[in-house]
Amino acid sequence: MTIGLIKERVPGETRVALVPAHVPELVKRGARVVVESGAGVEAGYPDGEYAEKGAEVLPEREAVLRATDLLLAVRSGAAAGDAAAADLNALPEEASVVAMLDPWQEHEAFQVIVRRRQRAFALELLPRITRAQSMDVLSSQANLAGYRAVLLAATELPRMFPMLMTAAGTIVPARVLVVGVGVAGLQAIATARRLGAVVSAYDIRPAVKEQVESLGARFVEMELETGDAETGGGYAREMNEEFYRKQRELMREVVAEQDVVITTAAIPGKKAPVLVTEDMVRGMAPGSVIVDLAAERGGNCELTRVDEIVFVPATRGSDAFDADTVGSVKVVGPSNIVAGLAYHASQLFSKNMVTFLATILQDGSLTVDREDEIIAATMVMEEGGAPDGERASLLGVPHTGNAQTGNTGDE
């Protein structure tokens, strides 16, 4: 089997799906690895390192695609936007692709996969079970996103994070609120604490209180009926609008006390809930910063714009600040924030990838066990359609009826 690796085409995507250090693991499994020249350069992995580890570096993208039986990518399907369809059309019929696919919406790329009877595995759908932890790309990348978000906030904030005692006086530490205590949120808490900030955190899942406090942060409790706030997969469940309305009312006072708010709340496949309103932003102190990690999914802040910094006049105090002044509240909406840490983000993604491939690659051949919980959850396309009926309806493709009972990743 030939495994192909291509350079990501999505603007700003600097990661690569396989790093040179992991090539020998695939070669030992009997695979031939071909790499598009320049695939890893932006992440800090030159062509020569791939060649040294046993991969064949080809100068043309089309040559790699034509030779590939199993394509590895960070983004394909809907996650790669307009770039995906052409690549999938260039792949041989009945080839396979493993990548993040954003498999919750109709997209031209999925029609190509159906027409060419290709097989597609969506890494976002890995079930949150013990055996799959070492394959979990969402967790490995979210970990880096939480770290990076704090550094971004510290850069934009016109204050220091730590307390500092000097002959000129004492500087009080910054106050940081982390909203959403998943993997990204926990890393944001830990990083902000290491920088010396006073950290609080909020999540609709009361069960995370112990984790927050173990990192030295204060857990913000609100009098809300959370009910079953957590899915079987360990994600926060989407709540109704009345719940979010009450939550926003209670959060207004908490947000007003903060110098920095980092929001991480996301529901897989859904629009991010709006947790921070314009009124809350305007009530913050001049110069405060909001970093919205859910920007790509619509944002947790009402004012977020993807890949922009929005300056919001602060009404707190005797005078309102103009939108263009330093004193305004900054709302930062980064997309793909981990691309700024491409070297290590790729390293972690690649390790997740080769661990996943161990479940489907045996003696140089693709072996798909549909009874395997991991395969049942991640294989969204094969034989001209989707094995899962609900997924087929979401993507607008035929239902093949081959699905096994298991976690599809939506729970």
Distance CA 93, CA 382 (A): 11
Q: Are 162 and 86 in the same domain? A: no
Q: Given the residues 87, 136, 259, 410, select the one marked as catalytic.
A: 136
In the annotation, is 136 catalytic? yes
Domain shared by 299 and 350, yes or no: no
| Helix pair 183-194, 137-156: axis angle to 10 deg | 40
Q: Which of 311, 335, 359 is the last residue of a domain?
A: 335
How many other CB atoms sit within 10 Å of the CB of residue 247? 18
Q: What is the pLDDT of residue 250?
A: 80
The owner of tokens 């549909």 is: 370
Number of domains in the chain: 2
In terms of domains, do 382 and 289 share one? no
Rounded to whole angstroms, how far apart are CA atoms 148 and 154? 10
Q: 161 lies in a domain?
A: yes
Flag whether 403 is in a domain.
no
Among residues 45, 147, 202, 235, the one annotated as catalytic is 235
Range of the domain at 186: 142-335
* 133 noted as active-site residue: yes
Active site residue 139: yes
Residues 302 and 361 in one domain: no
Report the pLDDT value the prediction gives residue 248, as an integer from 0 to 100: 75
Specify the CATH number for the domain of residue 9. Answer: 3.40.50.720
Rounded to whole angstroms, the Cα distance separating 254 from 252 reads 6
- Tell me how far apart the alpha carbons of residues 199 and 320 are, in angstroms, rounded to a whole number: 27
Catalytic residue among 15, 75, 119, 128: 128
77 touches 101 (CB < 8 A)? yes
Both tokens assigned to 302: 């009402």
pLDDT given for residue 247 in this prediction:
74
How much is the pLDDT for 236?
Answer: 55
Q: Based on the residue annotation, tell me whether 305 is a catalytic residue of this protein.
A: no
> Residues with Cβ < 8 Å from 53, sequence gap 6 or more?
20, 21, 23, 24
Say yes or no: 147 and 114 in one domain: no
pLDDT tens digits for range 350-383: 999 999 999 999 888 999 999 999 999 999 999 9
| CA distance between the termini of the chain | 34
Question: Domain boundary residue among 309, 335, 361?
Answer: 335
Predicted local confidence at residue 405, as pLDDT: 40
Residue of 139, 187, 200, 346 marked catalytic: 139
Q: Please, which residues have CB within 8 angstroms of residue 134's CB and are 6 or more apart in sequence?
A: 351, 352, 355
Residue 411 has a pLDDT of: 31
Going from the C-alpha of 304 to that of each of 52, 225, 277, 283, 321, the distances in angstroms are 45, 28, 10, 16, 19
pLDDT in tens, 382-396: 999 999 999 999 999
**What residues pair up with 332 in beta bridges, in sequence order?**
291, 309
So what's the pLDDT on residue 409? 36
Residue 146 belongs to some domain of the structure = yes
Same domain, 234 and 91: no
- Which parts of the chain have pLDDT scores under 70? 223-241, 243, 316-326, 402-411
Pairing of strands 164-166, 169-171: antiparallel
The answer to whether 113 and 106 are in contact (CB under 8 A) is: no
| 190 and 270 assigned to the same domain | yes
Tell me: do 130 and 20 sit in the same domain: yes
Q: Is residue 405 part of a domain?
A: no
Residue 53 lies in a domain: yes
pLDDT attached to residue 270? 86
Q: Is residue 317 part of a domain?
A: yes
Q: Among residues 105, 133, 362, 393, which one is catalytic?
A: 133
Same domain, 209 and 326: yes
* Residue 324: CB atoms within 10 Å: 8
| Residue 325 covered by a domain | yes
Res 364: pLDDT: 85
In a domain? residue 257: yes
| 112 and 204, same domain (yes or no) | no
Say if residue 19 is in the same domain as residue 117.
yes
What DSSP string describes 178-216?
A: EE--SHHHHHHHHHHHHTT-EEEEE-S-GGGHHHHHHTT
* Residue 239 and residue 155 in one domain: yes
